[in-house]
A and B are shown apart, each in its own frame.
Chain A
Amino acid sequence: MMNVWKISIDNIKHKPLNFVLSVLFLAVGFALLLGVEELNMSFKSQFNKGLSGVDLVVGAKGSPLQLVMASLLQIDNPIGNISYQEAEKIGRNRLIEKAVPISYGDNYNGFRVVGTTDAYASLFHGEIVEGRKPIKPFEVAVGNAIAKKELLKVGDTFKSSHGVVTGGHLHDKDLVVTGVYQATETVLDRLVITPLESVWEMHHHEEKGEIHHEHKHEDKNEHIEKEITALLVVFRSPTGLLTIPRKINETTNMQAALPKYELEKLYNYTGVGVTIISYIAYLILSLSCFTLLLSLFKMISERVFDLALLRTYGAKTSELLKMVFYEGIILITIAITLGTLISQIIVLLVTMILKDDYLQGLSFDMPYLQFFKIVFLLLGVLFIAVLVSIIPLSKIKISKVLNHEL
Chain B
Amino acid sequence: MIQTLDITFGYDSKDEVFKFPNINLKAKEHLLIVGKSGIGKTTLLHLLAGLLPIKTGSICINSTRIEDLSQKKLDAFRGEHIGLVFQRNHALKSLTVAKNLQARLFFSRKPINYKRINEVLTTLDLLDYKDKSIQTLSTGQLQRLGIAMAIIHNPKLILADEPTSSLDDENCENVMNLLLKEAQRHQANLVVITHDKRIVSKFSKVLML
Contacts and interface: CB of A to CB of B under 8 A. Distances in A.
A, B: real partners: yes
Interface of A: 1-3, 6-7, 10-11, 13-15, 305-306, 309-317, 319, 398-399, 402-404
Contacts of B7: none
A296 to B, nearest CB: 16
Given A7-B94, A312-B79, 4 more contacts: A313-B104, A317-B72, A319-B107, A399-B43
20 contacts: A1-B112, A2-B99, A2-B102, A2-B103, A7-B103, A10-B94, A306-B93, A310-B92, A310-B107, A312-B79, A313-B104, A313-B107, A313-B108, A314-B75, A314-B76, A316-B72, A398-B51, A399-B43, A399-B46, A399-B52
Task: Name the residue among A11, A14, A15 with the largest chain B CB count within 10 angstroms.
Answer: A14
Interface string B82-113: 00101010111111000100111111110010
Given A1-B112, A7-B103, A313 B94 contact: no
A403 B49 CA distance: 14
B186 interface: no
A399 B51 contact: yes
Nearest to B109: A314
B80 interface: yes
B195 interface: no
The 3 closest A-B pairs by CB, nearest first: A314-B79, A14-B94, A2-B102
Nearest to A398: B51
B96 to A, nearest CB: 8
B103 A13 contact: no
Contacts of B77: 314
B72 to A, nearest CB: 6
Contacts of B75: 311, 314-316
B51 A312 contact: yes
A10 B108 contact: no
Task: Name the residue among A2, A3, A15, A314 with the largest chain B CB count within 10 angstroms.
Answer: A314
Chain A interface main SS type: helix
A312 B107 CA distance: 9
Contacts of B107: 310, 313-315, 319
A312 B78 contact: yes
Contacts of A306: 92-94
B94 A11 contact: yes
B90 A309 contact: yes
Task: Name the residue among B52, B72, B104, B112 with the largest chain A CB count within 10 angstroms.
Answer: B104
A314 B78 contact: yes
Contact of B103 (A15, A313, A398, A399): A313
B165 to A, nearest CB: 14
A314 B108 contact: yes
Given A313-B79, A314-B76, A2 B112 contact: yes
Contacts of A312: 49, 51, 78-79, 84
Contacts of A309: 90-92
Nearest to A13: B94
B42 interface: yes
Contacts of A403: 42
B52 A7 contact: no
Contacts of B103: 2, 7, 310, 313
Given A314-B75, A316-B72, A402-B51, A2 B94 contact: no
A399 to B, nearest CB: 4
A2 B105 contact: yes
B92 A315 contact: no
A314 B79 CA distance: 4
A1 B98 CA distance: 12
Nearest to A2: B102
Nearest to A315: B107
A316 B105 CA distance: 14
Interface in B63-80: 72, 75-80
A399 B53 CA distance: 10
A405 to B, nearest CB: 10
